[in-house]
Amino acid sequence: MSGKSKKITKKVLLYVLLGILALIWIIPIFTLVATSLKHKKDFMSGLSLFQLPAEIAWDNFYNAITKGRLITYMKNDLIVSFLKVPLGIFVGSLAAFSMTRLKIKHSTGVFVFFLIGMMLPMQTALVPINMIYSKLGLLNTYFGLFYVYIGFGLSYCILVMRGFMKGIPGDIDEAAYIDGCNKWQLFYKIIFPIAKPAVATLFITDFLSTWNEYLLASVIINDNGLKTVPVGIMTFVGEHGTDYGYLCAGVLVSVIPVMIVYLVFQRYFVEGMAGAVKS
């Protein structure tokens, strides 16, 4: 049937398009991988940057993890991220919930007020936060770091959660109140589960921005045992020279947790919606 062959042509076209895009997108990624496999001397050989070396330098990965202390940095970053992300989403969702589903005055105004945080460049917060933190003894603590991160992540979190919660029909609330739910129950039994796709999205984006944050981490933390990945990665950039193989291997290793989080949470886009349709 012509309908079927049309469908097949469409599929083929889709794959061709994806293939072309993937080809373009892969060039820089290939560069990164090829670089991570090179010895120092490969950079001096005049070998093109886009060729694999004759002798693959697996020890770049080994060195990045052991000598580069990536394990410690990744552990710290995981602790901070796994404290920051769920707490941040929780706090942000509560606020978004009250803005969209409870009758508070000037809810748009409150929302806009919370948005300003997104616009503040982090650099401007360095001095005041450092002043407060050094008085309170919060420098060089996990708490000090993830607390600031929650603050800086709130605006975005509220923006996303509010957008999503607004799309949930109001009838659900009425039905829940009739069933005897209070506000808190409405939030955590009904609205929050429906908002799963938004939570999953946030988890991915939030985790990523926490994982890769450099500026605040570099000022709040100077204890070696507490440093996070982006600050640690900078160790590979020297005063007079950079060990690129080592650096790129480190970058590739440090990407693994983010990709895991991504793969886990992107599944929930689909699932989360199934819940919404059911109700």
Partner 1 sequence: MMFKKLIAAALTGTMVLGTAATVSAATEVTFWTLNTRQEAVEPIVEAFNEANEDIKVTAAFYDTDGIKDACKVAASSDSLPHMWFNWGGSLGQFYVDNGKTYDLTDYANENGWHETYSAGALNLCTLGGQLCGYPTSYNVLGVYYNKRIFEECGIEIPTSFEEFEAACAALKENGYVPMAAAGLNGWHVMRWVELLVEHYAGTELHDKMNSFEESWNNEAVVQALAKYKEWVDAGYFPDGFLTADPNDTIMSFGSGECAMDLQGQWYDGQLLQNELEVSNYGVFAFPSTDSSRMSAFAEMTQFNKNLSEEELDACVKFMEYYYCEENVAEYGAYYNLPLPKDGAKAPEDQLNVDGMIETSNTNGTFTITDQAFPTEVADALFNAQDAIANGEMTPEEGAANIQTAIEAYQAK
Partner 2 sequence: MKKGKKSNFGAYAFLIPAAVIYLSVIVVPVFYSLFISLFKWNGVSDREFVGLGNYVNLFTNDPTFLIALKNNLIWIVLTICVTMTVSLGFAVILNKQFRGRTVFRAFFYFPCVIAPIAVAIIWRWIYNPNIGFINQFFKAFGINYKQTWISDPKVSLYAIFIAALWQGIGQPMILFLAGLQSVSPDVLEAATIDGAGSVRKFFSVTCPLMKETFVMVIATLIVAAMKVYDVVQGLTGGGPNNSTQMLATYMYSQTFQYNNVGMGTAVACVMVLMMMVVIVPYISFTAKEK
Q: By CB under 8 A, how many residues form the interface with partner 1? A: 40
CA distance 199 to 195: 6
% helix, strand, coil for the chain, step of 5: 80, 0, 20
Q: Phi-psi region for residue 149, left (φ > 0), alpha (ψ -120 to 50) or beta?
A: alpha
Which partner from the list partner 2, partner 1, none does 192 bind, CB cut-off 5 to 8 Å by kind?
none
Which partner from the list partner 2, partner 1, none does 201 bind, CB cut-off 5 to 8 Å by kind?
partner 2
Interacting positions 50-109 with partner 2 (CB under 8 A): 50, 91-92, 94-95, 97-99, 102-104, 108
CB of 117 to partner 1, least distance (A): 20
Q: How many helices (H) and strands (E) does the chain have?
A: 13, 0
CB of 187 to partner 2, least distance (A): 7
Is 260 a binding residue for partner 2 by CB under 8 A? The answer is no
Interacting positions 192-221 with partner 2 (CB under 8 A): 197-198, 200-201, 204-205, 208, 211-212, 214
Decide whether 175 or 219 has the Cβ nearer to partner 1. Answer: 219
CA distance 258 to 78: 10
Degrees (nearest 5) of the Cα angle 156, 160, 163? 135
Q: Which stretch binds partner 1 (CB under 8 A): 16-24, 26-34, 80-88, 159-167?
A: 80-88
CA distance 50 to 32: 9
Decide whether 35 or 63 has the Cβ nearer to partner 2. Answer: 35
C-alpha dist (Å) from residue 239 to 35, 73, 92, 173: 20, 21, 41, 60
- From residue 108 to residue 147, the character string flagging contacts with partner 1 as x (rule: CB under 8 A) and all else as - is ------------------xx--xx--x--xxxxxxxx-x-
